[in-house]
Structure 1
Amino acid sequence: MTTAPTSADRPRTGLVRRLNFAAAWGEGLDGFDLGVISVALPFITKALGLTPVEAGLIGASSLIGIFVGAPLAGFLTDRYGRRLLFLVDVIAFIVLGLAQGIVTDGIQLFVIRVLLGVAIGAEYSIGAAMLSEFAPAKGRGRRLSGLLVGWYGGYLIAVVVAYVLIDGLGISWRWALACSALPALVTALVRIGFPESPRWLLTHGRGQEGRAIVDRYLGGDRYFEQENFGSEEERRTASLFRGENLKRLVFLSVFWACNVAPYFAIFTFAPTVLKTLQLSDPAVGTIFVNALAAIGAVVGMLSIERIGRRKQAVPPWWIMAGALAVIGLWAGAPGWVIVLCFAVFSFLNALSGNLTAVYPIEILPTPVRSSGVGVAAAVSRVGAAIGTFLLPVGIDTIGTGACMLIAAAVCVVGGVVSQLMAPETTNRDLVDTSSSPLRAAPEPAATR
C-alpha cells in the first residue's frame, strides 16, 4: 500500500512560472535594445555625421560589452550566488537605457551601449541558470526556449516601436533608445524577492538552506529526489577548462557564435542590407523577416520536447546556408525571392537559436554553469561583433552578395560542428546531462 503524498511533497510551480516570466523579460530587454538600434542607427548616423566605421562600432557596441559582462557575471554568479546579480543587472538596464536619451555625440553613445552590453552579458549568465536550477526536467527545454521567444519578441516589438516613433511620428531617435527603460522597470519589479538557487546552495555546502527552499517553494522530498538534487552535494568542485567540460565549452562556443554572428550582422543593418538589394520598402521587409524570427522561436519552443534537441540543432544549419547562398549568388534577384530567403533564414535561425538558451544550461555542471554560459556568450559575441562591425564596410567594398556568401559559410561551420557534437538531452535531469560524455549519437529519453 502506498502512502499518499503530503502537501509538502506535491510539486508546486508558482515560483517557477514567476521565475520563467522574469527571466524571459530579461532576455526580451536584450532583444529590445538591439532591435531599436537596428532601426535607429541610420538616423543616428545622419544626425551625428558618423562614418561607416563609427556606425559599425555603435552597432557592435553592446556586443563588445557582452564580451566583458558575460564571463565576469558568470564567475561572480558561480562564486557568490544567482539571486543578487539577477536583480542588480536589470537595474543597470534602467539607468543606462535612460542615459541614451541625453547623448550628444557618437563617443558617448558608444560608451553607454558598451555598458549596456555588460548588463546584457550578465543576463545571459544568470537568467537561464537561475530558471533551470528550479525547473523540473520535464518541460525544461520548453521553459528555456521561452527565453529566446522573449528575445525575439522583444526585438520585433522594438523594431515596430522604433519605426512608429522615428519614421512615423518623427520623434527623436534618442527617445526611441531611452524607451527601453520601461520594460526594464517592469522586469526589476518582478524580480524582487526570489530565493537563492537550491542547486547552487547544495554545491556550496549549504545543504540545509537548499533543502529548505525545495521544501518551501518546489515540492519537498519527492521533488528533491525526482530532480536528483542530492547529487549536487557531491559536485562541489569542477574545472571549466579541463577534460569533458572544455569539450562542452568548445561545442557551445562554436554553436552559439555561428548562430548569432550572421543574424546580428544582417539584422543590425537590415534596412541598409535590404535597400542595397533594391528592395522597394526596407521597413516592411525588416518587420516581416523579424516577425518570422519571432514565429520561429515560438515554433522551436513548442516543438523542442517532441522532436528533441539534436533534430532541432542540425538540419536548420544546411537550409540557412542555402538560403543565404541564393541571395549571395543571384545578382538582381526579384524582391520576393530576397525576402523569402531572408524569411527562411530568420525563421530557422530563431528555431535552432532556442538551443543557445538550452544546451549551455543542460550540459554544464552547476559549479561552473554560469561561468561556462558567460564564456560561451562572450565568444559568440566576438563573432557577432566582428560581423556587425565589418558588414557596413563589406557592403561598401566587396558588396552585399559577397557578404551573404560569407554568412552562408558561417552556417556551414555551425552545421558541421553540430553534426559531429550536438547531444540529445531531452527529459534528462541536470546532473545526468552535465555529467555524461558529450557525443552526437542520440540517446533514448529517460521516462518519468
Structure 2
Amino acid sequence: MDSKVRRANADRSHTGIVREPLTVFHLRVTATTFGANFSDGYALGIIGAVLPVLAHTMGLSGVWQGLLGSSALIGLFFGSILLGRLADHIGRQKLYLYNFVLIALASAAQYWAHDPLTLFLLRLVIGFCLGADYAVGPTLLSEFAPRRLRGILLGSLTVLWTVGYVLANILGTYIPLTDSAARWLLASGALPALLVLLLRIGTPESPSWLDSRGRHQEAAAIRRDYLGQDTALPVSTTAVEAPVTRYGALFAKGQRRNTWFGVLFYSAQVLPYFAIYTFMSSILETLHVSDPDAQNLLLNLFLLAGGVIGLWPVQRMGRRPFTAWTFAIMTACLGVMALLGNTSGAWLMVPFLIYTFVMAAASNITQIYPAELFPTALRGSGVGFLNGASRIASAVGTFVLPVSLSSLGIGWSMGWLTLVLLLGTVVSFAWAPETKDTVTTEEWIH
C-alpha cells in the first residue's frame, strides 16, 4: 500500500480527518507570495541605497529625502488597511493578481521620474499595492496551505523579504552609482514584480472565502481541481460562517483580545527592527567599532542566518512560546546594550549580534500569527489592520531614533527600545493565544 494512503488511513481511523498533502499548486502559491515579499524588501531597501545620489541630482531638501524614504511605507499603511478590508468583500484572487500589474508598471516608470514629486507618487503606488499583498498574500496562502506546513510556509515569507532587502543594499553598495544607474536600480524592481504577475495568472479564489459566502459548489470544485480533494463537507466553521460587513467586528467580544494582541506584538517587534536597520550606519558610528563596513556585513549575515534557522523552531514550537521567549531574549540583548552604552563598541557588538539573529528568527512569526488570529470572513481585514498598525509603529521608531541617538546617545536610545520590547514580552506572556493547530485550511471527513 502506498505510504501516503497508509498515512491518510491512519489519520482517518483516529480522527475522521484526512491530512491534506503538499501539492505542486501549494508550491506555486507559496512561490508567488515569496516573490511579493522579496519585491517589498527590495523596494524598501533600494530607495535607501540610491537616495544619496538622488539628493544630489534632484537637489533634494531634507523634507523630500524623508518623504521619498518613507513613501513606500506610507503606501503600505493605506494599502494594508483599505485593500485588506476590500479582500473580505470581493475575494482574495482579484487583488492578488491585479495589484502586481500596478507594481510592475510603477516600478518600471521610476526610470523616467526626474523630479521628486513624480518619484514620490510612483513609490506611493508601489507601497499601496504591496500593502494589499501584505494583507491578501499571507491570507490566501494560509487558506490554501496544509495545516502541518502552514507555519514554515508563512514564516518563509519574512526570509524572502530579508533577501530582497539585503540584495538591494549590496547592489547599492557595490555598483558605481550615477544618476542613470540609480534610476535603473529603482526600475529593476519591475523584474521580480513581472515574474510574480506571470506566475499568479490562473490562481483561483480561496475556497475558504467562497465557503464563507455560501458558494460551496465553487469551493468544492477548486478543491477538487487544484488540491486533489473530494467534495466532502469541510470540518471547519468556514462552511457556515456569515459574511462580516462591519470593520468594528475586529473589536467585538470574542475577537478584540486577538486583535489587540496582534497590534501590540507586531508593532513592538517591528518598531526596533526598522529603526535600528534604517540607521545602522549611525549606530555603528556611535558604537565606535573598528571597520564598520565589515561589522555591517556581519550583521547582515546574522540577519539572513537568523531568518533561515528560525524557520525550524517556529514550525516545531507553538506560536505562543516562540513569540514570548524570543521577545524575552531580544529585550535582554537591548537591555545589555543600554547598560553598557558607555563601554567599548566591541563588547556591545556581542548582544547586538545576538539580538539581530533572534530578531530575524522572531520576525518569521509576523507572517504566521496575523493570518491565524482571525476567522475567514475577517481575515483580510484583520491582517491588513495589523500590517497598517505596524507601519505606524515603524514610522514612529524611524523618526525618533536618529533624534534620540544625537541627543541622548546609544545607551538611552537602546533603553527606550528595550521598553518597547518589554511591552511585547509582557503582552505575549499575558495574551498570546496558541494557534498552531488552528484550522484555516479545510481538512476533510470521508
Question: What's the TM-score bracket when you normalise by the shorter of the two chains?
Answer: 0.7 to 0.9
Q: What is the aligned-residue RMSD (CA, Å)?
A: 2.7
Match 1:261 to one of 267, 271, 281: 271
Name the SS of the counterpart of 1:240 in structure 2: helix
Match 1:228 to one of 214, 235, 255: 235
Over residues 330-359 of structure 1, what are the superposed CA-to-partner deviations in whole Å (9 max), with x where a residue is unaligned?
345444334433322222112111111111
1:210 matched to 2:219: yes
- Paired with 1:194 and 1:258, the residues of 2 have a C-alpha distance of 34
- How far the C-alpha of 1:100 sits from its partner, in A, is 2.8
Alignment CA distance shift 1:268-1:175 (3 Å): farther
- How far the C-alpha of 1:251 sits from its partner, in A, is 0.7
What is the one-letter code of the residue matched to 2:191? L
Write out aligned runs for 1:32-47 (5 A).
Answer: 32-47=42-57
Match 1:310 to one of 299, 320, 328: 320
- Paired with 1:108 and 1:193, the residues of 2 have a C-alpha distance of 33
- Paired with 2:179 and 2:174, the residues of 1 have a C-alpha distance of 8
Larger deviation, residues 9-18 vs 193-202? 9-18
- Paired with 1:53 and 1:77, the residues of 2 have a C-alpha distance of 34
Write out aligned runs for 1:5-404 (5 A).
Answer: 11=21, 13-166=23-176, 172-221=181-230, 228-229=235-236, 231-238=237-244, 239-404=249-414
Match 2:420 to one of 397, 410, 422: 410
- Paired with 1:101 and 1:396, the residues of 2 have a C-alpha distance of 35
- How far the C-alpha of 1:416 sits from its partner, in A, is 0.9
Check whether the contact 1:327–1:338 (CA below 8 A) recurs between aligned residues.
Answer: yes
What is the one-letter code of the residue matched to 2:23? T
Larger deviation, residues 213-222 vs 273-282? 273-282
- Paired with 1:53 and 1:325, the residues of 2 have a C-alpha distance of 33
List gaps (5 residues or longer) in structure 1: 433-448
Check whether the contact 2:158–2:363 (CA below 8 A) recurs between aligned residues.
Answer: yes
Over residues 257-285 of structure 1, what are the superposed CA-to-partner deviations in whole Å (9 max), with x where a residue is unaligned?
11111111111222233234333444433
TM score, norm. by length of structure 2 = 0.87
Over residues 201-245 of structure 1, what are the superposed CA-to-partner deviations in whole Å (9 max), with x where a residue is unaligned?
1111111000011111113238x66x625x312112342231122
Aligned length: 424
- How far the C-alpha of 1:362 sits from its partner, in A, is 1.1
Check whether the contact 1:60–1:388 (CA below 8 A) recurs between aligned residues.
Answer: no
What is the one-letter code of the residue matched to 1:316? T
Q: Which residue matches 1:439?
A: none
Q: Which runs of 4+ in 1 moved over 6 A?
A: 3-6
Alignment CA distance shift 1:46-1:345 (3 Å): farther
Q: Percent identity over the alignment?
A: 36
Larger deviation, residues 37-46 vs 148-157? 37-46
Q: Which residue matches 1:440?
A: none
Check whether the contact 2:76–2:131 (CA below 8 A) recurs between aligned residues.
Answer: yes
List gaps (5 residues or longer) in structure 2: 10-17
Over residues 142-186 of structure 1, what are the superposed CA-to-partner deviations in whole Å (9 max), with x where a residue is unaligned?
11111111111211222212212246x997333222221111111
Over residues 397-432 of structure 1, what are the superposed CA-to-partner deviations in whole Å (9 max), with x where a residue is unaligned?
444443322222211111111111112222342289
Name the SS of the counterpart of 1:429 in structure 2: coil
Alignment CA distance shift 1:388-1:111 (3 Å): farther
- Paired with 2:46 and 2:387, the residues of 1 have a C-alpha distance of 21
What is the one-letter code of the residue matched to 2:200? R
Larger deviation, residues 366-375 vs 300-309? 300-309
What is the one-letter code of the residue matched to 2:329? I
Check whether the contact 1:89–1:122 (CA below 8 A) recurs between aligned residues.
Answer: yes
- Paired with 1:166 and 1:40, the residues of 2 have a C-alpha distance of 11
- Paired with 1:237 and 1:170, the residues of 2 have a C-alpha distance of 51
Check whether the contact 1:304–1:312 (CA below 8 A) recurs between aligned residues.
Answer: yes
- Paired with 2:48 and 2:413, the residues of 1 have a C-alpha distance of 18
Name the SS of the counterpart of 1:261 in structure 2: helix
- Paired with 2:104 and 2:441, the residues of 1 have a C-alpha distance of 36
